[in-house]
Homo-oligomer: A and B are copies of this chain.
């Protein structure tokens, strides 16, 4: 295992300390590193809280700030944070309008956020993301997995919360954005969890894992490495079939690197995805390319499509100021 770390046990703490130090104008670190909180809360706004296992950076802490999340709870690598963390984050971020939990659909996360919700004495609601069309159930999930589309849900909900929507409206919006959003991924190499010290899975020199999850868990099948065009064709085919949007619908295209894929390759994939979308009569209204929802040092990427309408497009364009996403301010 080759990593830029000190002791394996200190990776998460030191990474969070580095993050909080560099982005001290945007975030503050909670007691015992239980959560990363937006430095300047907006009183009267519903608090948006997310979190999950670490190793997917910049998700979620990198999305804390104006126009997106109010707090994020980092678990150990690929391990759910505890209900205690979630409760502490919600208490630190809730200014009276209640808290909305945004949870990727993995059993550990869903269970722990539900426990935290029960412990809350103030208003709380939950949105669960499950945008991954690759598999219906998997190693860590009952039902579809929540993957890179979670970024889209967090961005749009963040904008709507900033504009003053209440808790029930935000929950409904979150479910709507999640339904408009589909993703699928492919891995060219495994990730290596620091505590394990070796790759999570083994792939031959000419193989790829089609439909891989963001913890390196299996997807649809292991196949021979194909061209960018062929990979994009399969992923976009699955996404668009499932999404069942009308041709002409303006789309948001997110090409997301898993951690070890260079920008040059992500833009080759963006070009392939664009040609397929346009070939099927869709318009790319907005695009985002980069490594945002990662799987440590895994090589590969996911494609995400969100079918936009005027409301969701405006929410995407609204100002955001976080460590990993920033525009309009």
Contacts and interface: CB of A to CB of B under 8 A. Distances in A.
Q: What bracket does the count of chain A residues touching chain B fall in? A: 35 or more
A43 B231 CA distance: 43
A263 interface: yes
B259 A262 contact: yes
Interface in A1-37: 2-6, 11-12, 14-19, 21-23
A148 to B, nearest CB: 14
A289 B291 CA distance: 13
Contact of A268 (B11, B62, B228, B294): B11
Contact of A263 (B231, B294, B329): B294
Interface in A23-62: 23, 54-55, 57-58, 62
Q: Nearest 10 A-B pairs (CB), nearest first?
A: A18-B271, A22-B287, A18-B270, A18-B267, A57-B263, A260-B260, A4-B265, A15-B267, A259-B262, A2-B188
B18 A289 contact: yes
Contacts of A3: 188, 265
Interface stretch (A84-92, A157-165, A239-247, A296-304): A296-304
Residue of A18, A269, A288, A296 with most partner-chain B CB within 10 A:
A18
Interface string A198-212: 000000010010000
Interface in A270-291: 270-272, 274, 284, 287-289, 291
A310 to B, nearest CB: 18
A14 B297 contact: no
Given A57-B262, A263-B291, 9 more contacts: A4-B228, A4-B261, A21-B271, A21-B287, A22-B253, A260-B299, A262-B297, A326-B326, A328-B329
A196 interface: no
Contacts of A253: 22
A227 interface: yes
